[in-house]
């Protein structure tokens, strides 16, 4: 019996002739256990003229059986195929698909996933050599998530027509989703496999507005069919995430209900329930049942706690400006500011995504086309990522600080004025708090550690409030120089720590084991 490693793809091709991208047929999958629980349906998708396939991602070890039949006719003679395979141990380093857990993420096997994403919107629409270069760059980078478009992109620095489109066109020039272009989808498969090899989650953006070809203006019927095709073909990759849109409000031909329809369709048709989000330009899309996390475009990183409270979902700042030197305000952060936004985001309880936009006459910008990176933020982002992965419970059990009176006393020493200030804070909308000249705590912590980031501020010392029931080792961290210096052992209670009074400092307090 064919062997498939856990979380890998079992694919069954079969000859069939029909005029549709998604076959009006189903594949029933069941795992042979003590009971037959866990059976589910997947659709077949056209690979090329006369050839369809189904893909199955086994999520438990053991024997699987499947049957493929025309939809609605399970009892009829039209069953095409039956088969079985055995799911064996996963390949090294595979942990399954990423799912949410509280305000963070874990793989199927429970391993933590801390998203450290980057952005190469149209990389799969570039010449093959450039795509390979992108893969090689990603291999050497720290990034474990990639925002990418399925449709080609048209905007400044992205003005080329791609070599192939996902579909052919009908008689009136409209895109016909049923005319699958194999070269496009085979290449996409290749790139998803490569990302999978690199341990990178593919955050697939299904629709976006930067379009001159008409993909953003397909009918709702065609758009839904396209989403169904994506599910049938791509959901079996454990490393796929669904992002309904880049800047959903900018797609003028779609309304709020259209987006909800895509989300509901994904929720219904994707048997693996991959992560689903929708990215905005101004107003976050209202919370829906299909939404697994907030994918936010904003420079207002201090809003993260408010969004987490409102949506009760993890928050990814998937766009907060890109490191670079473009003429556009969204694409000319200094490397320091890109790094600052990562630290700021994680210490406000979210996760951040990188992008790079250095002006080039050949218009090959990492953010648009991939290639190589030219910036200075990536090693610093790696430094942060490695630090966070060291922290037990980080990403799945962190608690987050709030605004407090910087001059105020704590606990029993609180004065009436302190309580008055705290009441003011509680009754003030978050958008007014972001301008507050008080201390905005950028801190995440658990019982065993706290990580505090000082952002662009330049304190020459700071006070830590450490629990009385432990003793702590204190590190002073320079986020730009990537240095970590232990300055104190055995700290307890209110502790003063000297700092070098320049931007980009952090302090880590870690509970010591042997006290």
Among 407, 409, 484, 493, binds its own copies (CB under 8 A): 407
Count Cβ atoms within 10 A of the Cβ of residue 268 and give its class: 0-12 exposed, 13-18 middle, 19 or more buried: exposed
Residue 337 binds to its own copies (criterion: CB under 8 A) = yes
The count of chain residues that interact with its own copies, using the rule CB under 8 A, is 60
Residue 111 binds to its own copies (criterion: CB under 8 A) = no
Exposure string of 431-457, with b = 16+ CB inside 10 Å and e = fewer, is eebeeeeebbbbbbbbebbbbbbbbeb
Residue 439 binds to its own copies (criterion: CB under 8 A) = yes
In this complex, which beta carbon is closest to its own copies, that of residue 15 or of residue 437? 437
CA proximity to 145, closest of 276, 240, 280: 240
In this complex, which beta carbon is closest to its own copies, that of residue 62 or of residue 214? 214
Among 17, 76, 432, 469, binds its own copies (CB under 8 A): 432
Residue 414 binds to its own copies (criterion: CB under 8 A) = no
Q: Is 190 helix (H, G, I), strand (E, B) or coil?
A: helix
Give, in order, the Cα–Cα distances in Å from 215 to each of 162, 224, 236, 372.
13, 12, 24, 28
Tokens representing 57 are: 């991602």
Give, in order, the Cα–Cα distances in Å from 356 to each of 278, 353, 366, 371, 493.
22, 10, 6, 11, 42
Contacting its own copies within 139-168 (CB under 8 A): 155-156
Which stretch, 30-38, 101-109, 163-171, 454-462, contacts its own copies (CB under 8 A)?
454-462
In this complex, which beta carbon is closest to its own copies, that of residue 180 or of residue 507? 507
> From the CB of 329, what's the least distance to its own copies, in Å?
4
Among 334, 422, 448, 495, binds its own copies (CB under 8 A): 334
Residue 420 binds to its own copies (criterion: CB under 8 A) = yes
Residue 326 binds to its own copies (criterion: CB under 8 A) = yes
Q: CA–CA separation, 323 vs 92, rounded Å?
A: 34
Q: CA–CA separation, 109 vs 95, rounded Å?
A: 5
Residue 32 binds to its own copies (criterion: CB under 8 A) = no
Place of tokens 């008409």: 214
> From the CB of 334, what's the least distance to its own copies, in Å?
5
Which residues, including other chains, have CB under 8 Å from residue 419's CB and lie 6 or more apart?
Answer: none
The torsion defined by the Cα of 217, 218, 219 and 225, in degrees rounded to 10, comes to -140
Contacting its own copies within 240-269 (CB under 8 A): 249-250, 252
Q: Binding string to its own copies for residues 356 to 395, with x set by CB under 8 A, is what? A: ---x------------------------------------
Which stretch, 20-28, 69-77, 281-289, 507-515, contacts its own copies (CB under 8 A)?
281-289
Residue 431 binds to its own copies (criterion: CB under 8 A) = yes
Contacting its own copies within 158-217 (CB under 8 A): 209
Q: CA–CA separation, 373 vs 369, rounded Å?
A: 11
In this complex, which beta carbon is closest to its own copies, that of residue 204 or of residue 464? 464
Residue 416 binds to its own copies (criterion: CB under 8 A) = yes
In this complex, which beta carbon is closest to its own copies, that of residue 249 or of residue 269? 249
Is residue 307 within 8 A of residue 130, CB to CB? The reply is no
Q: CA–CA separation, 208 vs 210, rounded Å?
A: 6
Which residues, including other chains, have CB under 8 Å from residue 39's CB and lie 6 or more apart?
Answer: 28, 29, 30, 31
Residue 434 binds to its own copies (criterion: CB under 8 A) = yes
Which residues, including other chains, have CB under 8 Å from residue 38's CB and lie 6 or more apart?
Answer: 30, 31, 60
In this complex, which beta carbon is closest to its own copies, that of residue 11 or of residue 418? 418
> From the CB of 473, what's the least distance to its own copies, in Å?
21
Binding stretches for its own copies (CB under 8 A):
155-156, 209, 249-250, 252, 281-283, 297-300, 303, 319-321, 324-330, 332-334, 337, 359, 406-407, 416-417, 420-421, 424-425, 428-429, 431-440, 456-463, 501-503
């Amino acid at each position: 019996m064919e062997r498939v490693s856990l979380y890998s793809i079992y694919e069954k091709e079969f000859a069939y002739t029909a005029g549709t991208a998604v076959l009006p047929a189903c594949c029933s999958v069941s795992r042979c256990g003590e009971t037959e629980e866990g059976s589910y349906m997947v659709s077949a998708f056209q690979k090329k003229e006369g050839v369809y396939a189904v893909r199955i991602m086994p999520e438990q070890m053991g024997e699987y059986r499947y049957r493929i039949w025309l939809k609605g006719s399970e009892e009829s003679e039209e069953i095409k195929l039956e088969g079985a395979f055995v799911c064996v141990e996963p390949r090294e380093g595979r942990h399954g698909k990423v799912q949410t857990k509280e305000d963070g993420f874990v793989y199927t096997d429970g391993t933590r996933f801390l998203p450290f994403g980057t952005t190469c919107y149209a990389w799969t629409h570039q010449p093959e050599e450039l795509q390979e270069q992108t893969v090689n760059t990603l291999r050497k980078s720290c990034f474990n998530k990639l925002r990418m478009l399925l449709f080609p992109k048209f905007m400044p620095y992205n003005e080329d027509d791609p070599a192939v489109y996902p579909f052919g066109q009908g008689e009136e020039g409209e895109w016909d989703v049923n005319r699958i272009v194999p070269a496009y989808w085979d290449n996409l498969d290749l790139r998803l496999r490569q990302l999978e090899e690199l341990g990178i989650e593919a955050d697939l953006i299904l629709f976006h507005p930067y379009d001159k070809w008409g993909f953003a203006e397909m009918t709702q019927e065609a758009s839904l069919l396209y989403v169904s095709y994506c599910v049938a073909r791509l959901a079996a990759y454990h490393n796929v995430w669904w992002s309904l849109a880049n800047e959903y409000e900018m797609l003028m031909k779609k309304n709020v209900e259209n987006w909800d329809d895509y989300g509901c369709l994904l929720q219904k048709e994707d048997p693996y329930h991959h992560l689903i989000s929708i990215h905005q330009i101004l107003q976050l899309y209202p919370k829906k049942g299909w939404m697994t996390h907030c994918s936010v475009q904003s420079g207002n990183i201090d809003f993260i706690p408010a969004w987490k409270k409102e949506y009760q979902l993890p928050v990814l700042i998937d766009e907060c400006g890109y490191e670079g030197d473009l003429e556009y305000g969204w694409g000319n952060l200094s490397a320091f500011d890109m790094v600052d936004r990562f630290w700021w985001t994680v210490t406000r309880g979210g996760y951040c995504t990188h992008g790079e936009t250095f002006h080039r006459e050949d218009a090959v910008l990492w953010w648009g086309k991939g290639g190589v990176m030219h910036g200075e933020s990536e090693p610093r982002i790696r430094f942060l990522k490695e630090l966070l992965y060291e922290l037990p419970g980080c990403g799945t059990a962190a608690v987050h600080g709030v605004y407090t009176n910087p001059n105020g006393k704590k606990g029993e020493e609180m004065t009436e004025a302190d309580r008055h200030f705290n009441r003011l804070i509680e009754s003030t909308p978050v958008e007014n708090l972001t301008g507050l000249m008080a201390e905005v705590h950028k801190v995440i912590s658990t019982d065993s550690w706290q990580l505090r980031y000082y952002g662009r501020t330049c304190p020459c010392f700071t006070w830590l409030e450490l629990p009385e029931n432990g003793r702590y080792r204190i590190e002073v961290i320079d986020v730009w120089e990537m240095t970590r210096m232990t300055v104190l052992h055995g700290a307890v209670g209110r502790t003063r720590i000297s700092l070098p009074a320049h931007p980009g400092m952090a302090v880590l307090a870690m509970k010591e084991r042997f006290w």
